[in-house]
Structure 1
Amino acid sequence: MNHWNQVDPLMLHQGENVLRTLLAAGHQAFFVGGCVRDELMGQPVHDLDIATSAKPEEVIALFERTVPTGIQHGTITVLMDKFAYEVTTFRKESEYEDHRHPLSVEFVDAVAEDLRRRDFTMNAIARELDGTLTDPFGGQSDIGRRILRCVGVAEERFDEDALRMMRAVRFASTFGFRPVKSLWAALLAGRDKLSYIAMERVRVELEKMVLGPDPLRGLALLQRSGLLQYAKAALLPKEEASEAEGKDGGRAYDETKVLAWRLLHRNPPRPEWLTALPLLPPDPVLRWSLLLQSLEVPGEEVSRLLKNWTFPNQIAEETAAIVRFDEAWEATKPELLEEQALRRKWIHLQIEFGRDIAQGWLRRQFALLQVSAYGDMTEQEEAERMSVALKWHQEVPVHTLSELAVSGRDVLEISGRSGGPWLGELMKRLLLHVALGELPNERQAILEYVESVVEEDGDKRAD
Structure 2
Amino acid sequence: MGREVHDMDIATSARPEQVIALFDRTVPTGIQHGTVMVLMGEYSFEVTTFRKESDYEDHRRPSRVEFVDAIIEDLQRRDFTMNAMALGMDGRLIDPFAGRGDIAAGLIRCVGQAGERFEEDALRMMRAIRFASVFGFRPVKSLWRALLSGKKMLSFIAMERIRAELERVIEGPRPLRGLALIQRSGMIDEVKYPVSYPGPLRENYLRTMEHPLVTGLVKRLYLLLRGLNISADQADSLMRQWTFSNSLVERTIKLIRFDEQWMTHITSLPIEDRKEEQNLRRAWISLELACGRETVTDWLGCHQALLQELTQANSPVPVWEQLAEWGFLNSLLNQAEAWHEGLTVYELRDLAIAGSDVIECTGKKGGPWLGQLMKQLLESVAMGDLINDREALLEHAKDVVNRDGI
Same fold (TM over 0.5): yes
C-alpha separation between the residues in 2 aligned to 1:434 and 1:85? 55
1:113-124 equivalences in 2 (<5 Å): 113-124=73-84
Q: How many residues align?
A: 391
The TM-score normalised by the length of structure 1 is 0.81
User: Which of the residues 403, 406, 414 maps onto 2:353?
Assistant: 406
Residue 35 of structure 1 corresponds to which residue in structure 2?
none
Is residue 198–residue 232 contact of structure 1 (8 Å, CA) maintained in 2?
Answer: no
1:117-266 equivalences in 2 (<5 Å): 117-234=77-194, 259=195, 261-262=196-197
Residue 202 of structure 2 corresponds to which residue in structure 1?
270
User: Which of the residues 299, 302, 309 maps onto 2:242?
Assistant: 309
Is residue 282–residue 383 contact of structure 2 (8 Å, CA) maintained in 1?
Answer: yes
After superposing the two structures, state which structure 1 stretch, 388-397 or 313-322, moved more.
Answer: 388-397
User: Which of the residues 367, 371, 384 maps onto 2:331?
Assistant: 384
Deviations 1:140-168 (A, max 9, x none): 00000001100000000000000000111
Aligned in 2, Cα 1:139/1:393: closer, same or farther, shift over 3 Å? same
Aligned in 2, Cα 1:427/1:164: closer, same or farther, shift over 3 Å? same
Is residue 99–residue 159 contact of structure 1 (8 Å, CA) maintained in 2?
Answer: yes
Is residue 115–residue 124 contact of structure 1 (8 Å, CA) maintained in 2?
Answer: yes
Residue 286 of structure 1 corresponds to which residue in structure 2?
219
Residue 345 of structure 1 corresponds to which residue in structure 2?
283
Is residue 344–residue 382 contact of structure 2 (8 Å, CA) maintained in 1?
Answer: yes
The answer to whether structure 1 residue 297 and structure 2 residue 230 are counterparts is: yes
Deviations 1:85-131 (A, max 9, x none): 22111110012021111111011111111110000000111013443
Q: CA deviation at 1:405?
A: 1.6
Identity %: 53
Residue 301 of structure 2 corresponds to which residue in structure 1?
363
Is residue 197–residue 232 contact of structure 1 (8 Å, CA) maintained in 2?
Answer: no
The answer to whether structure 1 residue 69 and structure 2 residue 29 are counterparts is: yes
The TM-score normalised by the length of structure 2 is 0.92
Aligned in 2, Cα 1:189/1:346: closer, same or farther, shift over 3 Å? same
The answer to whether structure 1 residue 108 and structure 2 residue 73 are counterparts is: no
C-alpha separation between the residues in 2 aligned to 1:80 and 1:389? 52
Is residue 412–residue 419 contact of structure 1 (8 Å, CA) maintained in 2?
Answer: yes
Is residue 59–residue 120 contact of structure 2 (8 Å, CA) maintained in 1?
Answer: yes
Is residue 214–residue 301 contact of structure 2 (8 Å, CA) maintained in 1?
Answer: no
Unaligned runs of 5+ in 2: 311-317
Q: CA deviation at 1:44?
A: 2.3
Aligned in 2, Cα 1:380/1:57: closer, same or farther, shift over 3 Å? farther
After superposing the two structures, state which structure 1 stretch, 439-448 or 338-347, moved more.
Answer: 439-448
C-alpha separation between the residues in 1 aligned to 2:22 and 2:327? 66
Residue 22 of structure 1 corresponds to which residue in structure 2?
none
Deviations 1:195-216 (A, max 9, x none): 1100000000011101111111
C-alpha separation between the residues in 2 aligned to 1:309 and 1:423? 41
User: Which of the residues 45, 48, 68 maps onto 2:8?
Assistant: 48
Residue 440 of structure 1 corresponds to which residue in structure 2?
387
After superposing the two structures, state which structure 1 stretch, 402-411 or 77-86, moved more.
Answer: 77-86
Q: CA deviation at 1:139?
A: 0.3
Is residue 151–residue 157 contact of structure 1 (8 Å, CA) maintained in 2?
Answer: yes
Q: CA deviation at 1:383?
A: 2.4
- SS of residue matched to 1:233: coil
Is residue 414–residue 447 contact of structure 1 (8 Å, CA) maintained in 2?
Answer: yes
Deviations 1:342-379 (A, max 9, x none): 11111111110000000000011011012115444544
C-alpha separation between the residues in 2 aligned to 1:432 and 1:442? 14
Is residue 369–residue 379 contact of structure 1 (8 Å, CA) maintained in 2?
Answer: no
C-alpha separation between the residues in 2 aligned to 1:115 and 1:228? 30
C-alpha separation between the residues in 1 aligned to 2:242 and 2:206? 20
Is residue 34–residue 49 contact of structure 2 (8 Å, CA) maintained in 1?
Answer: yes
Is residue 158–residue 165 contact of structure 1 (8 Å, CA) maintained in 2?
Answer: yes
Aligned in 2, Cα 1:84/1:268: closer, same or farther, shift over 3 Å? farther
Deviations 1:411-456 (A, max 9, x none): 1122222222211111110111111222222222211111111121
- SS of residue matched to 2:10: strand
Is residue 399–residue 435 contact of structure 1 (8 Å, CA) maintained in 2?
Answer: yes
- SS of residue matched to 2:165: helix
Is residue 158–residue 164 contact of structure 1 (8 Å, CA) maintained in 2?
Answer: yes
- SS of residue matched to 1:103: strand
C-alpha separation between the residues in 2 aligned to 1:126 and 1:309? 35
Residue 47 of structure 2 corresponds to which residue in structure 1?
87
Is residue 9–residue 45 contact of structure 2 (8 Å, CA) maintained in 1?
Answer: yes
Deviations 1:256-278 (A, max 9, x none): xxx2x34xx9x952112111001
RMSD over aligned Cα atoms: 1.7
User: Which of the residues 331, 339, 345 maps onto 2:264?
Assistant: 331
Unaligned runs of 5+ in 1: 1-40, 235-258
- SS of residue matched to 2:63: coil
C-alpha separation between the residues in 2 aligned to 1:173 and 1:203? 15
C-alpha separation between the residues in 1 aligned to 2:55 and 2:87? 28
C-alpha separation between the residues in 2 aligned to 1:219 and 1:370? 22
Residue 256 of structure 1 corresponds to which residue in structure 2?
none
- SS of residue matched to 2:154: helix
Q: CA deviation at 1:285?
A: 0.9
Residue 457 of structure 1 corresponds to which residue in structure 2?
404
